[in-house]
Amino acid sequence: MSINFSQSVIGFIMMVVLLSSCATPGLTYTNFNRVKEGMTEEEVIRILGEPTKVTSVNVDTGIGSLFGLNNLSGTNMIWSTNDAKANVIFFKGKVKSNNFTNQF
């Protein structure tokens, strides 16, 4: 049983299309645009890869749990390359804001 040339070409094209649809993590504008408010830290890291810098804050407000504000936590993650910089701020483990800058 042999595979003819047209079947080989079709198989190759299908493989290229499938592989190109798999996003590669890393700091690109396209990947950054996939980051949406409400995403978890893990979801963002899957898209952008490991951050260059992480800063976390955890504050006990002393207010108590009456208003759900007894403990506030936030994380700032930065991804930086020679070409771009992204800043993503998480509040209680979810994206609250993000910013992308081209480095020229």
Q: Tell me the pLDDT tens digit for each residue of 15-63.
A: 554 444 444 579 999 999 999 999 999 999 999 999 999 999 887 766 6
For the entire predicted model, the pTM comes to 0.68
Spatial distance between the Cα atoms of 70 and 63, rounded to a whole number of angstroms: 5
**Would you say residue 102 has pLDDT above 80?**
yes
* CATH of segment(s) 25-102: 3.30.1450.10
Q: Which residue has tokens 């209680």?
A: 92
Q: Which residue has tokens 């499938």?
A: 18
Rounded to the nearest 10 degrees, how much is the dihedral formed by the CA atoms of 27, 54, 95, 93?
140
- Confidence band (pLDDT; 50, 70, 90) for 73? confident
